Amino acid sequence: MRHLLMKLVAQAFLPVFFLLWIPNPAAAQTAKAASKAYSLRRMPDGHPDLQGAYDLATLTPVDRPNGANAVYTEEEARKLEAAAARQRERGDQALSAAGLLDLRIGGPSVKPPQPKGVAELSYAGSVKWVESGGADRYRRGLYIHFQRTTPYPQLMNFDAPNANLACTRRERTDTPLQALNLMNDPVFYESAQALAFRVMRESTGAFRDRLTCAFKVTLGREPNAREAERMGKYYDEALHNLQQAPQKVAALFPNRLEGVPQNEAAAWVELSRVLLNLDEFITRE
């Protein structure tokens, strides 16, 4: 009886297996075409040729044209992570644009400037945050000292993971605190001052020439007509306000540049703060 049942089952399923075994020319052709479409160029050593994969940095994956490297551009745009919130590839984002970044590798942790009153929030005021001086002040965010009782605010605002646990996935948030951090944090304020100094030093032309220089340094491109118009209006307003309150000029730009009125340099500090706060500046595409 058992052998009879097995024979009946085999006879029933044999046509199904036969049909599955028969090759499908259309499916094979489709698979071959798909394989050819996603074939990668190879280097002489056999590794994939990644040159140019991220050349179109100002375009989102949806906007990028279909090309040989389209397979490498399917990641969504997102903000830079906490330790890299000031980073662009090899250095901190804002410090690099300002020309302040120290690229030394290794060494002890550093304590860059942070908003006043943060260290006092520790247990009984036990934390003494002595700001690093010299080149240590401008080291990469990777080397920032992490105080568990009073963590560095910029790291927390930009979703730094819990240092006591393994991190399998980074959180991504967009909050008003991030914009306030970029606008008022001592590190970014000093970076804006240095960026204004750099623009004044490297570009001696009219306002539009200097604006183009600032855009290339921070965003890697030239401003369009609408951006240039809006930035020009903001610059004129800042210059007018500083003329009405000259006591603010020295606080914004305490340095002196030969051939550059100090109030104009101070107005460029205000413009630099805007550029360092742009979503395009802090977003990795």
Most confident option among 33-42, 73-82, 142-151, 263-272: 263-272
Rg (CA), the chain: 28
Averaged pLDDT, 92-98 = 85
Return left, alpha or beta for 57; rule: phi > 0 is left, psi -120 to 50 is alpha, else beta. alpha
Is 189:197 a contact under the CB 8 Å cutoff? Answer: no
Intra-chain end-to-end CA distance of the chain, in Å:
68
Residues 6+ apart with CB under 8 A from 128: 119
Tell me 260's DSSP state. Answer: B
Cα separation of 20 and 60, whole Å?
42
Most confident option among 126-130, 168-172, 174-178, 186-190: 186-190
Max Cα-Cα span within the chain: 107
Q: 């960026």: which residue's tokens?
A: 195
Q: pTM of the predicted model, to two decimals?
A: 0.67
pLDDT tens per residue, range 174-225: 888 888 888 888 888 899 999 999 998 888 888 999 999 999 999 989 999 9
Q: 């644009």: which residue's tokens?
A: 97
Assess whether pLDDT exceeds 50 at residue 95: yes
Which tokens belong to 143? 């080397």
The total number of residues shown for the chain amounts to: 285
Domain ranges of the chain: 79-171, 186-284
Q: Count CB atoms within 10 A of the CB of residue 84.
A: 19
Q: What are the backbone angles phi and psi of residue 82, rounded to the nearest 5°? A: -55, -60
pLDDT tens per residue, range 29-78: 665 555 555 455 666 666 665 554 444 344 444 444 455 444 444 455 55
